[in-house]
Amino acid sequence: MLPIQQLTAAGFGAYRTSVNQQEHHEALLAAIYAGCNLLDTASNYLNGASERLLGEVLSAHQLREKVFIVTKAGYIQGESLPLLDTVDSQLLEDEVITFSERMKYSIHPVYLELQLTLSLQRMQVDYVDTFLLHNPEHYFRQTNVPVSRIEYYHRIRKAFEWLEAQVDKGLIRYYGISSNTFPLDTAADDTTNLDKLLEIARSIRSAHHFKFIQFPFNLIEQQALIPHHNGRSIITAAKENDIITIANRPLSSQQGNEIIRFASYEKETAKLQMEKDVLLVEKVMALIQQRMIKNDLEEDVLSLPVVKIIHERWMNMGTPDAVEQVFQTHLYPLLRTLYDNNIPVTHKRIYEKLKQLCKDYSRKELTLKAAAWRDKFVQNGFLPANDKREISELACEYCLKAGVDHVLVGMTKKSYVKSIERLFSMRD
């Protein structure tokens, strides 16, 4: 078992990784072999496919004892929804928060135990190093029932009591909370207060295992440096109490409707040629039109909303994640219908090539935005003026120098691993 003092400053953030993507297998393996030993996932990341990725890679290469696994629970989605069929109906009524038929939430010990068992199975491990309650502040998002701080911390107390019992069983080593509200003013009704959590943990067991907190922090979102916690910042308050801090989005921030990524993709976008690339777009339009004609559909191909969006916005569809969402959620289901679930391999490759093209153009746009933001950060003194390193490494380094113990980076490609691998050897 890895001591927490040996954890790498940069961790592998598995938020967008899947067992179904060979590229993600290669990136995870590359990160571990490059020295990264902190792996962060969650039960709801890609409906369990993220945890399964860790399980397959660690098992196939016998790497379990070389890494420190953090996973999270609370969200009830996808294949976790059937778990509720096994719990008492009173629990469903009292402590399962329902946002929609497909999205529920609970940190009740009965549900957490079911989820921990499932997570251990997915990752093919006997224990996890740290188990986090995943954004418990969702309790305050309810609109159909009265909410109160007293009930919020009562629910966390029950979860902490259960978590200490799991430590005794050897199923987890440490526990904690991942909350977007940690950096915010504790005077607000829906903020998670670290001092209150410590009070709860100490009342349960003096030598408690509440050890980790996770929250947003980056070059734009600086709230973690503001003294919101009894005159201290969340970073300072955590250090005073020997709590380990993890920044879960050091390379991205949202300003209004705009996503800012502190990363550049020059190598991936260098070969883009608009005059040539537009031919691929038109080829795809023609293929879809042919399938419509074969299905006796007389409408123009651009009458299909998703096709129209791609045709008009293939060079600026937002982030690569947004591109993936459009293709997986809208275009591919349409294609499966038009092809009667029998898309020829040659056609599949063309559609996949278009998806990759759209992603590369989105990366080109993100690179231009990152360059503009980099200039701003240099001007305000956050980043050095003449440092030629990639902005992703500089942004992570900024967080670490500001006092955060660890940063999580989404490394879905081996090239992303390469861009920050120097941080794997960095310690406090």
Q: Considering the chain, what percentage of its residues have pLDDT values greater than 90?
A: 84
What tens digit of pLDDT does each residue of 337-375 get?
999 999 999 999 999 999 999 999 999 999 998 999 999
**Contact yes or no for 158/165 (Cβ under 8 A):** no
Decide if pLDDT at 168 tops 80. yes
pLDDT of residue 426: 64
pLDDT tier at 285, thresholds 50, 70, 90: very high
| Average pLDDT of the segment spanning 317-326 | 90
What tens digit of pLDDT does each residue of 185-228 get?
999 989 999 999 999 999 999 999 999 999 999 999 999 999 99
Fold of 4-263+390-425: TIM Barrel (3.20.20)
pLDDT of residue 197: 98
Two tokens, residue 16:
């967008």
Residue 75: φ, ψ to 5°: -70, 140
pLDDT tier at 427, thresholds 50, 70, 90: low
Query: What string of DSSP letters covers 207-234?
Result: T--EEEEEE---SS--GGGS-TBTTB-H
CA–CA distances in Å: residue 69 to residues 58, 131, 229: 11, 9, 29
**Least confident range of 125-134, 210-219, 364-373, 417-426:** 417-426
Where along the chain do its domains lie? 4-263+390-425, 268-367
Total Cβ atoms within 10 A of residue 27: 25
Contacts of 126 (CB under 8 A, 6+ apart): 120, 170, 171
pLDDT of residue 57: 98
| Average pLDDT of the segment spanning 25-43 | 97
CA–CA distances in Å: residue 188 to residues 110, 182, 228, 236, 398: 29, 11, 10, 19, 28
SS3 sequence of 234-261: HHHHHHHCCCEEEECCCCEEEECCEEEE
Rounded Cα distance between 41 and 16, Å, is: 9
Rounded Cα distance between 42 and 50, Å, is: 7
Query: What string of DSSP letters covers 323-368?
Result: HHHHIIIIIHHHHHHHTTT---HHHHHHHHHHHHHHHHHHHHHHHH
What tens digit of pLDDT does each residue of 288-307 get?
999 999 999 988 999 999 99
pLDDT mean across residues, the chain:
94
pLDDT tier at 321, thresholds 50, 70, 90: confident
Q: Residue 165: how many CA atoms within 13 Å on its side-chain side?
A: 11
What tens digit of pLDDT does each residue of 145-156 get?
899 999 999 999
